[in-house]
């Protein structure tokens, strides 16, 4: 799934091999100039209106998690926890012009537990400290706003919007970057010369991250409006 040219906001660098010196009397040839055309970044872009079949992708990686969740019924269990948060989350997605599907991202981040902590992350959206601070959250010995689900939701929407612009609305890469960091994703894309998430060789956790979310979303859609029945 190739979503077009990936804009990573970096200056193109030409890699050259060993330089061959010109013969005596011969004019040194000028290096070939490459014209790099980048699409302008529209900071006011409404991602909610972007046509995308990404959320409906069905492949073996998604099917594996679909079968797993059908046995465990995890999405339906988590839906009960999600319901109190969804009105606020949907409103923030609307404000930040992001797809509503991101409202369910905390399902795989924290199981919709605002007090959830892991080794390096905390809160509904499982921000690590550096990202939380970068998004304007207070994190110090006296307060940790990652555990304030409303403030952390606003921060998460700002971060997802930033990633959406960085990866030009390629939601698979946006989610991968949310999980493993945008720098690591851009490095993988550059090294492998491939911006197709499904073909990237990246860490296992991120490889499974996107299919897990898609499987949950698709299963809940199948049972909408009451996924618990």
Among the listed residues 28, 109, 145, 204, the single catalytic one is 109
- Residue 6 — φ and ψ, nearest 5°? -85, 120
Annotate 104-145 with DSSP letters as a single string: GTHHHHTTT-TT-B-SSEETTTTEEHHHHHHTT--BSSS-BG
Which two tokens mark 68?
A: 């797993």
Which two tokens mark 106?
A: 């905390």
Separation of alpha carbons 167 and 109, rounded Å: 21
28 is catalytic: no
Separation of alpha carbons 86 and 79, rounded Å: 10
Cβ(227)–Cβ(76) under 8 Å?
yes
Active site residues: 109
């Amino acid at each position: 799934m190739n979503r077009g040219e990936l804009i990573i906001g970096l200056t193109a660098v030409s890699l050259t091999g060993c330089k061959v010196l010109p013969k005596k009397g011969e004019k040194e040839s000028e290096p070939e100039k490459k014209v790099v055309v980048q699409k302008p970044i529209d900071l006011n872009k409404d991602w909610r209106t972007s046509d995308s079949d990404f959320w409906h992708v069905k492949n073996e990686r998604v099917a594996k998690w679909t079968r797993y969740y059908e046995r465990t019924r995890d999405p339906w269990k988590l839906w009960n926890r999600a319901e109190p948060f969804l009105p606020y989350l949907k409103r923030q997605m609307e404000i930040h012009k992001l797809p509503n599907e991101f409202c369910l991202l905390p399902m795989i981040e924290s199981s919709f537990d605002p007090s959830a902590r892991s080794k390096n992350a905390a809160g509904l959206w499982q921000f690590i400290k550096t990202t939380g601070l970068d998004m304007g959250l207070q994190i110090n010995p006296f307060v940790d706003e990652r555990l304030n689900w409303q403030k952390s939701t606003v921060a998460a929407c700002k971060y997802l919007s930033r990633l959406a612009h960085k990866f030009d609305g390629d939601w698979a890469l946006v989610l991968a970057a949310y999980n493993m960091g945008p720098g690591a994703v851009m490095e993988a894309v550059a090294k492998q010369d491939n911006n197709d998430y499904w073909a990237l060789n990246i860490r296992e956790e991120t490889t499974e991250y996107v299919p897990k979310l898609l499987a949950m979303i698709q299963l809940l859609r199948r049972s909408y409006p009451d996924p618990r029945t």
